[in-house]
Amino acid sequence: MSTNNLDQLYRSVIMDHYKKPRNKGSLDENSVTIDMNNPTCGDRIHLTLKLNDGIVEDAKFDGEGCSISMSSASMMTEVIKGRKLEEALELADIFSKMMLGEEYTDKYDLGDVEALQGVSKFPARIKCATLAWKAMEKGVQNESK
């Protein structure tokens, strides 16, 4: 597949998650709640995680922002659900490396998350893409303490 076709495919995956977000909403009061924003551009996220016995049982998000931040949140909630907390944190590390254009392990199937690889070419957009992931890391790390 040519680079042009691959870029177009990735753009369509990102727009699909933006227009039809997965796991949008919030969970009950027994969930871990994290609110974060990106003061640079105004993106904000309200992430709720249901953590049980070291597993991310469910994840939902709400917020406002650009297509990159909202689609990244949608993709992130899909890929962490059902994972052990350590795996969720590993995925966040892999995603951070991807955003910085660094080598990363392909230990996990990232699914649609791979569509965000191109964001690494636009430094101003990296914080948009990583907002939900940083919120998830904060929630999992706080719960693990």
Angle at the Cα of 128 from the Cα atoms of 85 and 34, rounded to 5 degrees = 45
Specify the pLDDT at position 8.
80
Specify the pLDDT at position 138.
96
Confidence of residue 51 (pLDDT cuts 50, 70, 90): very high
Beta bridge partners of residue 2, listed in sequence order: none
Task: Name the nearest CA neighbour of 113 among 82, 97, 51.
Answer: 97
pLDDT tens readout for residues 110-120: 999 999 999 99
Average pLDDT value for residue range 6-17: 86
Interior/surface letters 63-87, b for 16+ CB within 10 angstroms, e for the rest: bebbebbbbbbbbbbbbbbebebeb
Q: Which two tokens stand for residue 122?
A: 């636009």
Which three-class secondary structure state does DSSP give residue 107? coil
Question: With left for phi above 0 and alpha for psi between -120 and 50, is residue 42 left, alpha or beta?
Answer: left
Average pLDDT value for residue range 8-36: 93
Specify the pLDDT at position 9.
75
CATH topology of domain 3-144: Sufe protein. Chain: A (3.90.1010)
Q: Give the dihedral sign, CA 55/30/58/112.
A: negative
pLDDT tens readout for residues 62-101: 999 999 999 999 999 999 999 999 999 999 999 999 999 9
